[in-house]
Structure 1
Amino acid sequence: MIRVMIVEDEPLIAEAHRAYVERVPGFSVHTVVHDGSGAVRAAASASGGGDPIDLVLLDFGLPDAGGLDVAAALSGVRPSPDIIAVTSARDLEIVRTAVTRGIALYLLKPFTFAAFRDKLERYREYRDALPAGSNALSQHDIDRAISALRTSDERAVSPKGVAPQTLDHVSACIRAAEGPMTAAELAAAIGVSRVTAWRYLEHLADDGVLTRHTEYGRAGRPQIRYAVR
């Protein structure tokens, strides 16, 4: 099993990430911490106890330290864990620095379970591509491992008829809303048909990103509103 540490300051989001990890075969949650200093202590303690953490899901918006600084500190733990950045930061300089700090993959919030699972499965392929207990890697070994991390086929993680860019747009809109939205309200806000808005909302609800709230009026059909979980 690949041992995972979740670093997320929002307890509800941390628990959602835990649930996601537990849905992906081959991964288990080692520990959950809510700040950068706790992450470094937990990683060092696990390594010292002979049960090192393999992978860190690292939120960048921590209360006590920046994600990049935490990543640098974790690189000093031996053996050092691999890191997947889980963040809403889209700044090019941050992304470039993340690469130089050894962050293996970058997962933008908000995301669906399919996108989350894709990152973990690619990381597992990367580990599987490296021969166990060997320091003498061939060029083929290295190329295969790097390819597992860097190659992504959006069609494989997005159901038919669901475009990743539109999904991101829908997610951002409903997260910015003051309250739950109907498909008609979302359609008007982002300029798509009501049916298209409904399809994306249902996709996000099925993935556990949104919740459904049914309202019963005095006349007509009940109305479904969607909100961030």
Structure 2
Amino acid sequence: MIQVLVIDDDFMVAKVHAGFVSKEPGFTVVGIAHTASDAIKAATELSPDLALLDIHLPDMNGLDLLQRLREVQPELDVIVISAAREMDTVRKALRGGIVHYLMKPFSWDDLRERLKHYAKTYQPLHAAADQELEQADVNRLFGLGGQNRRPLPKGCSAETMTLVENIVKDASEPISASETAEKLGTSRVSARRYLEYLAEENLAQVNLRYGGVGRPERRYSWNK
């Protein structure tokens, strides 16, 4: 469960944001703070994974608070939620290492999209700090992949790609390259090339299965 700290000086707005977060599966609100001092105390005591941070607070600018929060919780991720639209503010926030910047007013769908992206990309990277990543993992972290696909890798065919897509979509649980290869009647290496392409394009999600000796097994599920 991803633990969230909501930081906003407006009591009603903070309550609404907390309600939005609570509606998203996999997220829970562990605290609400209306001042920077309360936010620092909450971050220290509650150790949240993610903070929703407003820029305008009564006792400290949110960008300055961002750095203070990192001092007490170095692994804390931050989504800025603010009415501030100045380029300088957005630039400083990005350089401060935030994961998203969402401008007020916004809809539940707007926040939900950011939360789902966070859950799918940033949060899993906390699980194993020494784990080796594939290019697909890094691409998702930096928001690459999407509707406009790159050309298929050399030696891959559109027909086989369609078959792989259908296999992943129809799978009742995350599927491995070996299992995909068996269904295709091809080699595991070939099947993995197609699966990694789908992951790099953010069409499939990589799930790591631990157990036994060696590196964890990469399994793939369709991004719905």
The TM tier, using the shorter chain, reads 0.5 to 0.7
- Give the TM-score, by structure 2 length: 0.61
Provide the rounded CA distance (Å) in 2 between the counterparts of 1:26 and 1:110.
24
The aligned runs of 1:40-55 (5 Å cut-off) are: 40-46=40-46, 52-55=47-50
Moved over 4 A (4+): 150-153
What is aligned with 2:121? 126
The aligned runs of 1:1-229 (5 Å cut-off) are: 1-46=1-46, 52-127=47-122, 130=125, 132-140=127-135, 141-147=137-143
Could you say if the C-alpha distance between residues 33 and 152 of structure 1 is closer, same or farther in structure 2, counting changes exceeding 3 Å?
Answer: farther
What is aligned with 1:188? none
Provide the rounded CA distance (Å) in 1 between the counterparts of 2:88 and 2:141.
25
Provide the rounded CA distance (Å) in 1 between the counterparts of 2:123 and 2:39.
26
Residue 55 of structure 1 deviates from its aligned partner by 0.4
Structure 1 regions of 5+ residues with no counterpart? 47-51, 154-229
- 3-state secondary structure, aligned to 1:9: coil
- 3-state secondary structure, aligned to 2:122: helix
- Give the TM-score, by structure 1 length: 0.59
Residue 20 of structure 1 deviates from its aligned partner by 0.5
What percent identity do the matched residue pairs reach?
35
Could you say if the C-alpha distance between residues 72 and 25 of structure 1 is closer, same or farther in structure 2, counting changes exceeding 3 Å?
Answer: same
Provide the rounded CA distance (Å) in 2 between the counterparts of 1:95 and 1:31.
25
Deviations 1:47-97 (A, max 9, x none): xxxxx2000000111111101001011111234310000001111111111
Could you say if the C-alpha distance between residues 68 and 131 of structure 1 is closer, same or farther in structure 2, counting changes exceeding 3 Å?
Answer: closer
Residue 98 of structure 1 deviates from its aligned partner by 0.4
State the aligned residue count: 146
RMSD: 1.9
Residue 110 of structure 1 deviates from its aligned partner by 0.3
